[in-house]
Chains A and B, each alone.
Chain A
Amino acid sequence: MKVLCCVSHVPDTTTRIQFTPDGAALDRTGVTFIINPYDDFVLARAAELKEKSPTTVQVTVLCVGKNGASSADSVDGNLRKALALGLDEAVRIDAEAKDAYYVARQIAAYAEGKNYDLIMFGKESIDYNGSQVPGMVAALLGLPFISYATSITIENGKAHLTREITGGKEVLECPLPLVLSAQKGLAEWRIPNVRGIMQAKTKPLHVLPPVEILPRVRTLKHEPPPPKGAFKKIELDQIDQLVEELANKGLI
């Protein structure tokens, strides 16, 4: 079984996000980049599948991105971390991730004809929170798409899945090949062990040029959230007034 895990390279969750003075881009100075946390669920699930059937499961990790100026902003470094979970090979499409459409077309162009049985993504990346790329890749490749998957097991070429829906979950079945996007639950996050880290150093990491595609959506500018003033401090004996105020504002 061939598995493709697509990951994105995003600012660490603890980053205080700042933009360049013109608002055009993220200010990358001093920012550490990590593998998108939702993609970690996918990598962990792939590692489980690989562990169970080491000889028949083949896992590729792919990222569309350019290495940044510092080692804290290295896509290749993050791909090696992914490989350290016991996965087989990594691919980096050497291009800036211009928009979701552009990224989806790059991934689809790479995957086309390679007969992946399972293509997995995180449900969204924590930078642009778009939830667009996984579905676009599925549509481009003509494969079924399961969003917000919280579990997958595979038996005789058929997948049994659950996905999160409003107010509950849905149980589904789908023949392979398929594309899914992962929600928490797909697997427990894993931390690579020393042996995995050593082995990852010599595993293949292919750097490929992008295909020529025009993006469709561009960012005009970013804005920081409006500054919050000091909060209104409520003493214990002012709770009635608080309730009154919340009610007057139509909040309760």
Chain B
Amino acid sequence: MSAIAVWAEVSEGRYKKPTLEALTLTRQWADSLGLPVWAVVIGKELPTDSQQVLGDYGADRLISILDPQLEPFVNSAYARALSELIQQKAIRYIVIPQSYNGRAVAPLVAIWADAALFSGIIGVPEKEGEGFKARRIAYSNKGFEWVYTAHLPLIVTLKANAIVPAKNSRTPEQESFSFSPKAEDLRLKPIRVEKIATDKVPLTEAEIVVSGGRGLKGPENWKIIEELAQVLGAATACSKPVADIGWRPHHEHVGQTGIQISPNLYVAIGISGAIQHLAGVASSKNILVINNDAEAPFFKVADYGIIGDAFEVVPRLTEAIRKYKAQHSH
């Protein structure tokens, strides 16, 4: 019996949004092919809510691959585990979230399991002739590409925030798959992880991002950005020059040479909208631009625009949202 397998990535002991998105896409793809969904969990132990969460998001079977050496994450060991599973069970379709770890794993699996790879797709693959096609973003948000292959197995990685996680509950059967990594898969030795501001949503997963540019004049003025982000539960980002001069940390730099994001709402404050900046943010579903120059190029890709001084507009906006939220919270 065949199935679509999805790597249910565990991050800090939990199934986070990229995994729920991948499960959702897998369920939709599986339904279009009449196949069951196998959620594959790799690690040292199974999170206690695995059966519940994976079942909620459409998994018919939970396959766990557990070994003490699978923590901490090492890409080659995880890729080896997935490749062996794919080959032993003759799995033909595999979904991997396009998270940092997903990107480190997928190309290895493509080689070891002799598979084709679609990377960063933004919708469910569709049958086309003998094979499948899928849509992805290309040219750093300046275009879309339809990719096609008739080669199986086919691995797809799903871009973050491309689809909305949707429940489709059932009770998955459980199975364990025996695997232990070989020494050659553990040459890479993780020493430690350094977290940044743990109270914030990671930029790549955030649904709302508030971003500031050189128009803010100096690092001391970021308070208005932080406050707006706080009332919105948003992540903060910045333009490249702002990170380069050290007003903000490098990990906030979005754009062609920074992080690429596609939140539901991107709020651009004092950013001109240079083509390299847009390359990282133009696939945001909604863009609100605040800029005192009506000619700023950013307005060309905006859904909403406020032409005005950030130091006046932003605190007002923050206050209006705070007021709205207070009135509408029960």
Interface status of B103 (Cβ within 8 A of chain A): yes
A217 touches B304 (CB 8 A): no
How long is the Cα–Cα vector from A130 to B136 in the complex, in angstroms?
10
In the complex, how many angstroms separate the beta carbon of B276 from the nearest chain A beta carbon? 5
Interface centre among B111, B149, B151, B195 (most CB of A within 10 A): B111
In the complex, how many angstroms separate the beta carbon of A163 from the nearest chain B beta carbon? 8
Interfacial chain A residues near B120, Cβ < 8 Å: 129-131
How long is the Cα–Cα vector from A147 to B119 in the complex, in angstroms?
15
Interface size class of A (residues with CB under 8 A): 35 or more
How long is the Cα–Cα vector from A223 to B141 in the complex, in angstroms?
11
Interface status of A168 (Cβ within 8 A of chain B): yes
Interfacial chain B residues near A11, Cβ < 8 Å: 139
How long is the Cα–Cα vector from A129 to B103 in the complex, in angstroms?
11
How long is the Cα–Cα vector from A135 to B155 in the complex, in angstroms?
14
In the complex, how many angstroms separate the beta carbon of A39 from the nearest chain B beta carbon? 11
A231 touches B149 (CB 8 A): no
Interface status of A53 (Cβ within 8 A of chain B): no
A251 touches B265 (CB 8 A): yes
Residues A217 and B107 in contact in the complex (CB < 8 Å), given A172-B189, A225-B143? no
B117 touches A101 (CB 8 A): yes
B302 touches A216 (CB 8 A): no
B110 touches A132 (CB 8 A): yes
Among the listed A15, A130, A131, A184, which residue makes an inter-chain contact with B253, where contact means beta carbons less than 8 Å apart?
Answer: A184
Among the listed B76, B110, B305, B316, which residue makes an inter-chain contact with A232, where contact means beta carbons less than 8 Å apart?
Answer: B305
Interface status of A134 (Cβ within 8 A of chain B): yes
Number of interface residues of B (CB under 8 A): 89
B308 touches A170 (CB 8 A): no
B140 touches A129 (CB 8 A): yes
Among the listed B107, B137, B304, B321, which residue makes an inter-chain contact with A234, where contact means beta carbons less than 8 Å apart?
Answer: B304
B138 touches A101 (CB 8 A): no
How long is the Cα–Cα vector from A139 to B99 in the complex, in angstroms?
19
Which A residues, 119 to 172, have Cβ-Cβ distances below 8 Å to chain B?
Answer: 126-136, 138-140, 142, 144-148, 164-172
Interfacial chain B residues near A246, Cβ < 8 Å: 265, 286, 288, 304
B118 touches A220 (CB 8 A): no
Interfacial chain A residues near B276, Cβ < 8 Å: 13-14
In the complex, how many angstroms separate the beta carbon of A226 from the nearest chain B beta carbon? 9
B residues sitting closer than 8 Å to A (CB atoms) are 11, 75-76, 79, 99-101, 103-108, 110-112, 116-120, 128, 133, 137-149, 151, 184, 187-196, 198, 202, 204-205, 208, 232, 250-251, 253, 256-258, 260, 264-265, 275-276, 279, 282, 286, 288-289, 299-308, 312-313, 316-317, 320-321, 323-324, 328
